[in-house]
């Protein structure tokens, strides 16, 4: 499909749950920083025209040179204090840069640097679904664990049916105007971009996710990535 696709990569987090060893996006797996794996993965999908990375304000120059040295071409901008502010800044930079580019952007992907080993096929599946007319698309997996609700004392109050629950990954894909309007409308705390889109009443569709698109959050996840995910 011939969609002009831009990928925004929030990479400005501090990686606190990984043990505070500096920005998570710069933590190496097989000697290569996560952000480099993530950008290479997006570019290797073959459908992404431009990648915009949101880096921690203190590490913009470092991330720029790490990516350039690795030959992973990306525009690096300063991220914000939370994930949505980082996405907002990357989106602004992408839209500004592409204002006089042709063809116009038709798909915007938002993809966590922390999901550094997402298969290129998944990037293409999300892009294709948006290019085919879906305004917002998220990759999902069924929930494998039994899910329970607890009260303030951690006592179980309910077992929730997992049949209609899904765990959501990235990249999430959007028609550019939909994501722009969702960010303009804003809202309270949210952990994904599709959440903002739901609030403006735009339907969000799903494609099957992939286990390798797992988010590297904890030292255990990092060990899994070292052992089985790194190319």
Which residues would be at the binding site for Mg ion (CB under 5 A)?
13
What is the torsion angle, in degrees rounded to the nearest 10, for the CA atoms of residue 135, residue 136, residue 142 and residue 147?
-120
Selection from ligand CTP, Mg ion, none that 30 binds (CB < 5 to 8 A by kind) is: none
Separation of alpha carbons 57 and 85, rounded Å: 12
Three-point CA angle 99, 101, 107, nearest 5°: 80
**Do residues 170 and 206 lie in contact, with contact meaning Cβ atoms separated by under 8 Å?**
no
Q: Which is nearer to ligand CTP, 105 or 114 (CB)?
A: 114
Classify residue 158 as exposed, middle or buried by CB count within 10 Å of its CB (0-12, 13-18, 19+). exposed
**Do residues 42 and 78 lie in contact, with contact meaning Cβ atoms separated by under 8 Å?**
no
Q: Segment contacting ligand CTP (CB under 6 A): 80-88, 96-104, 148-156, 202-210?
A: 80-88
Q: Which is nearer to ligand CTP, 11 or 122 (CB)?
A: 11
Binding to ligand CTP in span 21-50, by CB under 6 A: 24-25
Selection from Mg ion, ligand CTP, none that 215 binds (CB < 5 to 8 A by kind) is: ligand CTP
Q: Segment contacting ligand CTP (CB under 6 A): 5-13, 145-153, 173-181, 198-206?
A: 5-13
> How many CB atoms neighbour CB 57 within 10 A?
12
Binding to ligand CTP in span 81-110, by CB under 6 A: 81-83, 86
Interface with ligand CTP (CB under 6 A), residue total: 23
Q: Which is nearer to ligand CTP, 131 or 197 (CB)?
A: 197
Separation of alpha carbons 168 and 142, rounded Å: 9
Separation of alpha carbons 9 and 147, rounded Å: 30
Q: Which is nearer to ligand CTP, 13 or 195 (CB)?
A: 13
Selection from ligand CTP, Mg ion, none that 74 binds (CB < 5 to 8 A by kind) is: none
The length of the chain in residues reads 231
CB of 8 to ligand CTP, least distance (A): 9
Task: Answer yes or no whether residue 12 interacts with ligand CTP by CB under 6 A.
Answer: yes
Separation of alpha carbons 202 and 130, rounded Å: 13
CB of 57 to Mg ion, least distance (A): 16
What is the torsion angle, in degrees rounded to the nearest 10, for the CA atoms of residue 85, residue 87, residue 90 and residue 92?
-70
Binding to ligand CTP in span 119-158, by CB under 6 A: none
Q: Which residues bind ligand CTP (CB under 6 A)?
A: 10-18, 24-25, 54, 79-83, 86, 112-114, 215, 217
């Amino acid at each position: 499909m011939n969609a002009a696709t831009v990928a925004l990569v929030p990479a400005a987090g501090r990686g606190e749950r990984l043990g505070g060893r500096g920005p998570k996006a710069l933590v190496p797996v097989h000697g290569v920083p996560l952000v480099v794996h993530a950008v290479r993965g997006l570019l290797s999908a073959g459908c992404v025209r431009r990648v915009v990375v949101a880096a921690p304000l203190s590490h913009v120059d470092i991330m720029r040179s790490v990516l350039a040295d690795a030959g992973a071409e990306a525009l690096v901008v300063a991220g914000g204090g939370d994930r949505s502010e980082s996405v907002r800044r990357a989106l602004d930079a992408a839209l500004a840069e592409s204002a006089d580019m042709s063809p116009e952007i038709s798909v915007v992907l938002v993809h966590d640097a922390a999901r550094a080993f997402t298969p290129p096929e998944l990037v293409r599946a999300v892009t294709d679904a948006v290019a085919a007319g879906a305004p917002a698309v998220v990759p999902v997996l069924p929930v494998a664990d039994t899910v329970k609700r607890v009260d303030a004392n951690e006592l179980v109050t309910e077992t929730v049916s997992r049949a209609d629950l899904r765990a959501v990954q990235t990249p999430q894909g959007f028609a550019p105007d939909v994501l722009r309007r969702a960010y303009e409308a804003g809202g309270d705390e949210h952990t994904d971009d599709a959440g903002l889109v739901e609030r403006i009443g735009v339907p969000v569709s799903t494609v099957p996710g992939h286990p390798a698109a797992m988010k590297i959050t904890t030292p255990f996840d990092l060990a899994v990535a070292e052992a089985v995910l790194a190319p």
